[in-house]
């Protein structure tokens, strides 16, 4: 399976919309388009997409919250990871996650944090991450600490 992971471009908005729609829990297409356009052009966000034969089949999304007021350390929050069901179990989610992790580390993150959907927790455990005490009841919490 020949998969390409790259940062979403403004012209990818329809492909990203389709993935959001397939994932569920999104709102109006026009409103989502505005957000996709804003996020994909904002350097504090990273929206990688997975492509097979130029068709988007998955995406991830991470956001830099910038430097902490007192410490200057930078938190990145991992918001989404989704792969179309028919493409799962082929290493695509792991490639997207690695892309998010690499971007965070290269962009000065002190931490990469996320809460996983309970059904997704086994994926993160499979790739070597264990949840730490839950921040939000029912949603396992994960954190990677980067060293300078």
* Mean pLDDT for back-to-back runs of 10 residues, the chain (148 residues): 94 96 91 95 97 97 95 95 97 98 97 92 94 77 87
- Please report, to the nearest 10 degrees, the dihedral formed by the alpha carbons of residues 6, 10, 11, 15 taken in order: 60
> How much is the pLDDT for 135?
62
Per residue in 88-124, is it b (16+ CB within 10 Å) or e — as a string?
Answer: eebebbebbbebbbebbeeeebbbbbbbbeeebbebb
């Amino acid at each position: 399976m020949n998969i390409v992971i790259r940062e979403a471009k403004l012209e990818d908005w329809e492909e990203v919309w389709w993935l959001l729609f397939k994932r569920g829990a999104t709102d109006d297409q026009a409103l989502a388009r505005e957000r996709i356009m804003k996020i994909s052009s904002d350097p504090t966000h990273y929206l990688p997409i997975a492509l097979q034969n130029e068709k988007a089949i998955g995406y991830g999304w991470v956001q830099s919250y910038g430097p902490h007021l007192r410490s200057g350390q930078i938190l990145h929050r991992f918001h989404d990871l989704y792969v179309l069901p028919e493409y799962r179990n082929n290493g695509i989610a792991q490639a997207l996650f690695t892309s998010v992790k690499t971007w965070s580390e290269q962009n000065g993150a002190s931490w990469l944090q996320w809460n996983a959907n309970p059904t997704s927790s086994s994926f993160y455990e499979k790739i070597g991450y264990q949840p730490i005490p839950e921040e939000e009841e029912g949603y396992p919490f994960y954190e990677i600490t980067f060293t300078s």
